[in-house]
Amino acid sequence: GAVVSQHPSWVICKSGTSVKIECRSLDFQATTMFWYRQFPKQSLMLMATSNEGSKATYEQGVEKDKFLINHASLTLSTLTVTSAHPEDSSFYICSARTSGDRFSYEQYFGPGTRLTVT
Amino acid sequence: GQNIDQPTEMTATEGAIVQINCTYQTSGFNGLFWYQQHAGEAPTFLSYNVLDGLEEKGRFSSFLSRSKGYSYLLLKELQMKDSASYLCAVMDSNYQLIWGAGTKLIIKP
């Protein structure tokens, strides 16, 4: 149980275009989803936290107009990188958690999406 | 500020035991997680400690001392597939995960 999928697993796009990444919880309802970015040889950097049906909370330094997050349902969140630039090339990972008991604070990670902007 | 410290890199020999330490200073504490991350892949859950003491799960054990702000991950009978980064993360008072930079573990034959 507790499977999170991401699509696409990798994408190459041209500078100036937009890319949408989907994150789905396949067998549980995710009240909260997290979006992370990870540059090579660095740790995970939390970009934003989203709760179903409400606006995402962005971490300091993350442009909310550039990284659009939509958590429309309890099983789906999307991250859209608008007007992508080469410096946005990174490994984007989503995670999801439910609410409730102690063990629900565990975050279940998707497999990640590698974005390359040329 | 909030801070998680763990060594950047460690090397160990196949079949041996290695201990990866993590110290933390966070605003509140709701548990400490260890995750394993292979290169190019997402992290996978290894352990969760919220009370002091040792939690054993097969070849992996995790220890927590809340008074010292300290945890370690102990890996026994090391295998080549254990070569990965090991991430320590603390859940703060807002139930947000604060991540360490990760420890890259290199296993040599």
- Find chain B residues with C-beta within 8 A of A111's C-beta: 41-42
pLDDT at residue A104 in the model: 56
pLDDT at residue A28 in the model: 84
Nearest C-alpha in B relative to A6: B42
Average pLDDT value for chain B: 94
Distance from CA of A29 to the nearest CA of B (A): 18
pLDDT at residue A54 in the model: 82
Distance from CA of B37 to the nearest CA of A (A): 10
Inter-chain contact B87–A46, Cβ cutoff 8 Å? no
pLDDT at A30 over 90: no
A103 pLDDT band, cuts 50/70/90, is: low
pLDDT at residue A92 in the model: 96
| HSE value, Cβ hemisphere, 13 Å, CA-based, for B29 | 22
pLDDT at residue A100 in the model: 55
DSSP secondary structure string, A17-81? --EEEEEEESSS--SEEEEEEE-TTS--EEEEEEETTSPPEEPTT--TTTEEEEEEETTEEEEEE
Inter-chain contact B43–A102, Cβ cutoff 8 Å? no
Inter-chain contact A105–B95, Cβ cutoff 8 Å? yes
- Find chain A residues with C-beta within 8 A of B102's C-beta: 43
